[in-house]
Structure 1
């Protein structure tokens, strides 16, 4: 996990609204990632000591994150904010899904968006053009968002009550699966161009999700992807998982997505 993948070696997390200057902040908890590494591997005893320290560090990181996530969740529930954590590999269509959703549903719902990427504000600029308030989190070397980032970004974005907050996580099906952000639901998105065995390659992500969106159905005639196999594998990993098949490009299946959103926002 993040204690060994290099995540957190860059202490500077930036929060940017389109048209505003970058705001860099040093997150104290990111220092924890660095201090778990030792270079004394010469003796077996030292190696075991380092291994135990890394395990304790990873547990501490997740425990601290989970506490902040619970506080986020309480805040969202108190203000009737539906927070949805969108996770996927890069290129699955998360941003395109949000763009179309905002354009077609902004008269029905009030949307706020938190964008997570290692660098650039490209996605935030697209969301801004679609017509929703957005803030970009650049994580530097970080491979995922965490609960403290969401706490800070929510305050800066000034998310209103009775709204829907989309959190577009960093494109990665590994580390984001371990970090609760305080969301009400986790939505995992895969596309038909990625292969139908994604659920068993990255089971932790699918185990932790409540909804699986299978995007780019318009490409099914041109790719080697079995919808039946993908759904069966995902259901084997998580038998409570719901599915929506859609194409953001053509609009096919988007009504099912909007119905799901309406149902969640009414709960």
Structure 2
């Protein structure tokens, strides 16, 4: 009798173990990770630059790792905040994985760091299935993307501990229906908090930082229904309160421009699965 092995399930289980180790390692040094997911062009980098700047002004030790398929543009922008920033170029890989993140942080993340912000690859499909050892997962959407975004990408929004709306200053101009958006978010993730922000006007400035600091201090974290269901299936995405885990490893080299740069293919990769598409636990409408 033939036994069917779900390779995708096995890969995600391997990633979860790495994420558990990374989370525990961060916790041991008094830090947590914040994983930011969004579509390209959502304003994620602008929002993060503002939050990092506020953190520096308040004297909160933070750092940021930003991932992209190509260019160091985002790291250059984030470095203007004056905090440690590291760029990772994925060479076409559509998401970060916990083992990758761990390697990039080893020997680079300052010991005093309290919050590590991870700007994931601009993509709402692949990154949604990968726990990065974060204690706070944030899904972002710009008002220009439409009110039905959460319904089109239910895994990304359904596993978020926090949802952030960006570019709120132009909501009226693009006829953004806030009530409809909120209702759609609640359909896939009942009870999750939604923040409205504008990097241009300063609306909501510091709110994301405040939420992250509250989580680090042991405050309550919204546990999505989808995460609870996944846990009963034997696979966790790392969202929720049961965070316990360890360490990462990585080797960055400085380019002398205020941030470090890392290239995943400079190191041995542990990908034993076909990528970038087709991960487990994705609703049919999200498989590509």
Q: Which residue is equivalent to 2:101?
A: 150
Q: Which residue is equivalent to 2:17?
A: 67
Q: Which residue is equivalent to 1:125?
A: 76
2:56 paired residue among 76, 82, 106: 106
- The worse-fitting range, judged by mean Cα deviation, of 256-265 and 115-124 is 256-265
Return the offset for 1:102.
1.8
Task: Verify the 8 A CA contact 2:62 2:84 in the aligned structure 1.
Answer: yes
Per-residue CA shift, 1:89-137, capped at 9, x if unaligned?
A: 0011111111111222213311111111011111111111221111111
CA-based RMSD of the aligned residues comes to 1.8
- The worse-fitting range, judged by mean Cα deviation, of 195-204 and 257-266 is 257-266
Matched, 1:229 2:180: yes
Q: 1:53 to 1:205 in 2, by over 3 A?
A: farther
Q: 1:197 to 1:80 in 2, by over 3 A?
A: same
Q: Which residue is equivalent to 1:81?
A: 31
Q: Name whichever structure is richer in helix by fraction.
A: 1
CA–CA distance in structure 1, aligned partners of residues 110 and 121 of structure 2: 20
1:207 paired residue among 153, 158, 182: 158
Q: Which residue is equivalent to 1:137?
A: 88
Q: Which residue is equivalent to 2:238?
A: none
Q: Which residues in structure 2 correspond to 1:171-182 (within 5 Å)?
A: 171-182=122-133
Q: 1:126 to 1:162 in 2, by over 3 A?
A: closer
Per-residue CA shift, 1:27-66, capped at 9, x if unaligned?
A: xxxxxxxxxxxxxxxxxxxxxxxxx999622122111111
Structure 2 unmatched ranges of 5 or more: 219-288
Task: Verify the 8 A CA contact 1:146 1:181 in the aligned structure 2.
Answer: yes
Q: 1:230 to 1:133 in 2, by over 3 A?
A: same
Aligned to 2:6, what secondary structure does the other structure show?
helix
Q: 1:164 to 1:222 in 2, by over 3 A?
A: same
Aligned to 1:141, what secondary structure does the other structure show?
coil
CA–CA distance in structure 2, aligned partners of residues 104 and 159 of structure 1: 18
How high is the TM-score relative to the length of structure 2? Answer: 0.71
Matched, 1:96 2:62: no
Aligned to 1:137, what secondary structure does the other structure show?
strand
Return the offset for 1:254.
1.6
CA–CA distance in structure 2, aligned partners of residues 64 and 255 of structure 1: 35
1:243 paired residue among 187, 191, 194: 194
Q: 1:65 to 1:56 in 2, by over 3 A?
A: same
Task: Verify the 8 A CA contact 1:217 1:245 in the aligned structure 2.
Answer: yes
Structure of higher CA gyration radius? 1
